[in-house]
Structure 1
Amino acid sequence: MAQLEKELIVNDCDVNNSGGRISALGETVDIDERAEKRVLSKFDWVVMPQMSILVLFAYLDRTNIGNARVFGFEKSLGMSGTDFNNISMFFYIPYILLETPWVMVVRKFGPGRVLAIAIVCWSGITIGSGFAKNYNQIIACRLLLGSFEAGLFPSLTFVISRIYPATSQGKRIAVLYISIALSGALGGLIAYGIQSMGKQHGLEAWRWLFIIEGTITLVVGALCWVSLPTTPETAWFLGQEDRSTMSIIKFRNHPFEVSDRFSWKQVAMALTDPLVWLAAVSLFCSSIAMFGFSTFLPTLLTGMNYTSLQANYLSIPVYVLASICTGITTFVSDRIKRRAICLIHSPLLVMAGYAITVGTGNKSVGFFAMFLVGAGVYSYNTVVLTWVSNNIHPDYKRSVAIAVVISIGNAAGLAASQIYPIRDEPRYLVGNSLSLGFETLALLSVGITTLLLKYRMKQKKRLRDEGIESNGKEGDQSLGFKYVL
C-alpha cells in the first residue's frame, strides 16, 4: 500500500475528498469507513491528549513569570521601571524568528524526537530560571525559552493537518487553544499552592514556581521522545492493517503532494501567496485582543474595583466559558464544513465585550463583558488556523505557511504587552479601545479572505469550462483543488 501511494500521480487521479473511494491510475481503492474511524480514534486517544498536555505546560512555563511577579520576583532580582515589561517582550523575539525553521525541521524528521528535544531544553531553562541571580540572567533565560518553545504550537497544528481530514481538523486544533485557556486557570491554582508553602530550603516561593513547573515539563518531554510518532502511517500504536489504512487516508487528505522531499519552491510558494499574508494579518489583529486578555485579565478585573484575590478566582469561570465556546464553535465549523460563517460571531462577541468596558465603569457589567470577550477571543484564532491548514498544499508549503501565520500572529504579543500601561488604570481605556479596533479589522479580514478564495475558484472554473485540464501549477493552486470556504 505504501508503494501504491508513492506511485500515485496527481494528474491521473480522481479524488473524492468527502467519500471513501480513490481512483488512481485506473484502479479504484475503497476506504473502509469503520477502519478509518478506528485509526483516527487511536490518534484521538493517544496523540491528541499528549498535544494538549504539551501546550498546557508550555503556556504555564511562559506565563508563570506573571505569577512570580506577585511573589516578589522583581524585588529579589533588583529590577525596576520597565525591566519586567522588557523581560516579557524579549521572549517573543526568538519565538517569532524561529517558528518557521522549527516547523520545517519537524516536517523533515517528524515531531517525536524533535519536539522532545525542544521540550527537554525549555523545561531545563525553566528550572534554571528558578536559580537566576540578576536581571541579565533572567533575560538570557527568557531568550532561550522563546527559542525552544517557538516550534511547538505551529508544529502541532501542522501535525494535525497531516493526520485528519480537512473537515475535522477544527475541533482538534481547538484542543490546543482550549489548553491555552485552561492553562490560565490551572496556572493560578498552582501558583496559589506554591505561594502558600512560602520560602523552603532557602529558596523563595517564586523560585519554586519555576523549578516545580519546569520539572513536571521535563518528565513530559522525556515521555514524548518515545510516545509521539515520527509519521502518521508509521505510528507505533498502529498495526499493519491500520498503517495501510492510514496511508490511504493520508493520500486522500493530501492528493496534491508531488514529492516527499524538501522543496525551496514550495517555501517560495508559501511566502508569495497573498492568502498566507492575509491570514497572518488577520491572526495578528485578533491576537492583540487575545494576548492582552490572557495577560491582563486579572489587571482589568482589579481595575473594575475587584480585589486581587477576587480577580484571581473570578478569572477561572471566564476561562472555562472560553474553553467551552471554543469547542462549540469549532465543532459546528467541522460539522457544517464551513469556516468563514463560523468566524463572524467570534469577533462580534469580542467587540461587544470591549465596547462595554469602554462605555461603562460598572463593575458587574464589566465582569459580564469579560465573559463576552472570552467567548470569542480564542475560537476566532482556532478557526483561522484551521482555515489556513485546509487551503494550503503541498506539505512543505503548508508547514511554512502555518509557521509564518502563527509567527506574525505571535508578534502581537510584543504590542499587547505595552497597551495596558499602569498609568491608564483603573479602566485602561486605551488598551480596551485598541483591542476593540484590532478585532474589528480581524472581522473585516474574514470578508476579504472569502472574496479571495471565491475569486480563485471562479478562475479555476473558467479554465475548466474552456476545456483546460491543467494550469501548470501544483498544490492548492492546481485546477483540481477545491478551497474550503
Structure 2
Amino acid sequence: MAQLEKELIIDDFDADGSGGRVSTLGETVEILERAEKRVLSKFDWIVMPQMSILVLFAYLDRTNIGNAKVFGFEKSLGMSGTDFHNISTFFYIPYIILETPWVMAVRKFGPGRVLAIAIVCWSGITIGTGFIQTYKQLIACRLLLGSFEAGLFPALTFVISSIYPATSQGKRIAVLYISIALSGALGGLIAYGIQLMGKQHGLEAWRWLFIIEGTISLVVGALCWVSLPTTPETAWFLGQEERSTMSIVKVRNHPFEASDKFSWKQVVMALTDPLVWLASVSLFCSSIAMFGFSTFLPTLLNAMQYTSLQANYLSIPVYVLASIGTGITTFVSDRINRRALCLIHSPLLVMTGYAIAVGTSNKSVGFFAMFLVGAGVYSYNTVLVTWVSNNIHPAYKRSVAIAVVISIGNAAGLAASQMYPNKDGPRYLLGNSLSLGFEALALLSVGLITLLLTYRMRQKKGLQDEGIETNGKEGDQSLEFKYVF
C-alpha cells in the first residue's frame, strides 16, 4: 500500500528532471477518491442491478409455493396433513449443507459462471415443478431447488464485501434483502394475474405460476454467464486506468488480506471464531420470523378471512413497506457507521407486530400487524450480515464466515416451515408466538456481540499500551484491525 501511494504522489517529469511537480498527499487522495467514486458507480449501475434481479427471482422461485398453496395445488397433488410444511423443510436440507461449498466456488472461479450455472439449473427445476403429478415428484424438485439456490445469497454478500468499503456495504447488502421483500410483492402480483387467468391449455393456474416464473429466471441466468465479472479489478466494463484504480481501492479497503490463494488456515479461523457463531445464532433467531413471514403471509391473510385472491394482492403493500423500511435502516447504518445501534429497532417492530397478531382476532388490526412485521423483519438481517462482513478478514475467512452465518440462519427455514400447521388456523398462535420469542432472542444477541467486540478491542489496546507491536495474529484479530460497532 505504501508503495502504491508513493507511485501516485509523483507526477510525470521531463527527461532532465524539470517541468514536473510533486503532488501533495492531499491532492493525491482527492484524485483517488474521485476515481474511486467513478469506478464504484459503474459497479452500482451494472453489477448491483444484476445481483438484485438474481435474488428477486431466486426467492420468487422459492416462495411461490406459498401462493400456489392458496391456488389449491395441495388438492391437485393429493396432499394432506403436514405434507405442505414437509416440502418446505426438504428444501432447506441441501440448501444449508451446500451453501459454504458454493461460496468457496465463487471465491475461486468468480461469480459469473458459477452463479449462471446455478440459476439455469434451478430455473429448469422450477419449470419442471409445473408438470409434476405426484407428491414424491414435488419432494424431488424441492430438494434439487435447494441444492442449486444454496450459494446465491452468501456468495453475493461476499462479492459486495470484496468490491465496496466497509462503510458503504450496508446499503448494497440492503439491495439484496430489499429484492427478497420485492420478490414477495412481485410474486403476489404475478399470482394475482395468473389466478385471474385460471386454467389454460389443460393446466391449472398453479402450474402456470411455476412455468412462467421459471422461464423468466432461466433467461436471466443465461445472461449472467457473460455479464457478471470474475473479479472486481478485471471487470469487463472497466478501462485500464479504472482497473488500476480498483486494484488500489482493493488494497486500501482490505489491508489485512494476506493472500488471494486458498488457505485452510483461514477456513479454520472462521470456524473457530466466536463472533461467527454468535452472529449465526442471532441470524437463526431473526430468520425464524423472516422465513415464516415470507412463506406463510398469504396463508395468514387468508386465515384472517380475506379471500385467496385478496390474500395475494394484499401482500403487495406489506412487502413494499418492508423494502422501504430496509432501505432507510441500512442507509442510516452506513451514514453513521453504527451497526449495533441500528439493530435495535427492527426486532422491536417485529415483536410488536406479532404481539398484536397473537392478541387480537380482528382482521383489520391483524393486517396492520403484518405491516409492522414487514417493516422490521428484513432490515435486521441486512444490518447483521453487513456487520459480520465488516469485521471478518482475510478474504477466505470472510467467505467461509459469511457462508456459515447465512447457512445457519437459513436453518431457521427448517423450523419456520413447521410453525404454521393447518390445524392451528385461523389464529396460528403457535407460529406467531414462536416468531415473537425468537425475535426477542435476536435482540439479546446484539448486546452479546457488542460485548465480544468490546472485549477484543480492550485486549488489543492493553497490548498496544504495553508497547507490543504485534500479537502474531492476522486479519481482524491483528492489533491494527479496528472493529466496526
TM-score of the superposed pair, with normalisation by structure 2: 0.93
Match runs of 1:264-279 below 5 Å: 264-279=264-279
1:407 match: 407
Distance in 2 between the 1:194 and 1:302 partners?
Answer: 18
How far did residue 77 of structure 1 move? 2.5
1:67 match: 67
Match runs of 1:216-295 below 5 Å: 216-295=216-295
2:385 match: 385
1:329 match: 329
Deviations along 1:92-123, one digit per CA (max 9) or x if unpaired, are 00000000000000001110111011111111
Residues 22 and 252, structure 1, Cα contact 8 Å, conserved in 2: no
2:189 match: 189
2:10 match: none
1:458 match: 458
How far did residue 419 of structure 1 move? 1.2
How far did residue 466 of structure 1 move? 0.7
Residues 181 and 319, structure 2, Cα contact 8 Å, conserved in 1: yes
How far did residue 420 of structure 1 move? 1.4
Please say if 1:117 is aligned against 2:117.
yes
Please say if 1:179 is aligned against 2:217.
no
1:431 match: 431
Secondary structure, counterpart of 2:143 in structure 1: helix
Residues 48 and 172, structure 2, Cα contact 8 Å, conserved in 1: yes
The answer to which of 360-369 and 312-321 deviates more is 360-369
1:305 match: 305
Structure 1 residues 361 and 184, CA, compared in 2 at 3 Å: closer, same or farther?
A: same
Distance in 1 between the 2:420 and 2:228 partners?
Answer: 39
Residues 110 and 230, structure 1, Cα contact 8 Å, conserved in 2: yes
How far did residue 140 of structure 1 move? 1.1
1:14 match: none
Deviations along 1:293-347, one digit per CA (max 9) or x if unpaired, are 1122222223333333333222211111110010000000000011000000111
Structure 1 residues 346 and 233, CA, compared in 2 at 3 Å: closer, same or farther?
A: same
1:396 match: 396
Question: What code does the residue aligned with 1:216 have?
Answer: I
1:347 match: 347
Residues 174 and 382, structure 1, Cα contact 8 Å, conserved in 2: yes
2:140 match: 140
Deviations along 1:59-98, one digit per CA (max 9) or x if unpaired, are 1111122222333322333333322221111110000000
Deviations along 1:150-187, one digit per CA (max 9) or x if unpaired, are 00000000000000000000000000110110111111
**Unaligned ranges ≥5, structure 1:** 6-20
2:207 match: 207
1:473 match: 473
Secondary structure, counterpart of 1:419 in structure 2: coil
How far did residue 367 of structure 1 move? 2.0
Question: What code does the residue aligned with 2:358 have?
Answer: V
1:167 match: 167
1:416 match: 416
Residues 125 and 141, structure 1, Cα contact 8 Å, conserved in 2: yes
Distance in 2 between the 1:474 and 1:165 partners?
Answer: 19
Match runs of 1:27-38 below 5 Å: 32-38=32-38
**Unaligned ranges ≥5, structure 2:** 6-23
Residues 81 and 422, structure 2, Cα contact 8 Å, conserved in 1: no
Structure 1 residues 415 and 51, CA, compared in 2 at 3 Å: closer, same or farther?
A: same
Structure 1 residues 474 and 461, CA, compared in 2 at 3 Å: closer, same or farther?
A: same
Residues 36 and 249, structure 1, Cα contact 8 Å, conserved in 2: yes
Question: What code does the residue aligned with 1:296 have?
Answer: F
Match runs of 1:80-99 below 5 Å: 80-99=80-99
How far did residue 4 of structure 1 move? 5.9
How far did residue 415 of structure 1 move? 0.5
How far did residue 29 of structure 1 move? 7.8
How far did residue 410 of structure 1 move? 0.5
Structure 1 residues 109 and 51, CA, compared in 2 at 3 Å: closer, same or farther?
A: same
How far did residue 431 of structure 1 move? 1.3
State the Cα RMSD in Å. 1.9
Secondary structure, counterpart of 1:405 in structure 2: helix
The answer to which of 54-63 and 417-426 deviates more is 417-426
Structure 1 residues 364 and 69, CA, compared in 2 at 3 Å: closer, same or farther?
A: closer
Question: What code does the residue aligned with 1:63 have?
Answer: T
How far did residue 473 of structure 1 move? 0.4
Deviations along 1:235-257, one digit per CA (max 9) or x if unpaired, are 00000111011001111111101
Residues 191 and 312, structure 2, Cα contact 8 Å, conserved in 1: no
1:8 match: none
How far did residue 365 of structure 1 move? 2.3
Structure 1 residues 477 and 277, CA, compared in 2 at 3 Å: closer, same or farther?
A: same
Residues 31 and 245, structure 1, Cα contact 8 Å, conserved in 2: no
Distance in 2 between the 1:144 and 1:357 partners?
Answer: 35
Distance in 1 between the 2:66 and 2:145 partners?
Answer: 15
Distance in 2 between the 1:75 and 1:314 partners?
Answer: 24
Distance in 2 between the 1:303 and 1:138 partners?
Answer: 25
How far did residue 30 of structure 1 move? 7.4
Question: What code does the residue aligned with 2:371 have?
Answer: F
The answer to which of 366-375 and 443-452 deviates more is 366-375
Question: What code does the residue aligned with 2:165 have?
Answer: P
**Aligned structure 1 segments of 4 or more residues deviating by more than 6 angstroms:** none
Distance in 2 between the 1:424 and 1:68 partners?
Answer: 20
Question: What code does the residue aligned with 2:338 have?
Answer: R
Distance in 1 between the 2:77 and 2:359 partners?
Answer: 40
Residues 70 and 299, structure 2, Cα contact 8 Å, conserved in 1: no
Residues 91 and 143, structure 1, Cα contact 8 Å, conserved in 2: yes
Residues 31 and 248, structure 1, Cα contact 8 Å, conserved in 2: no
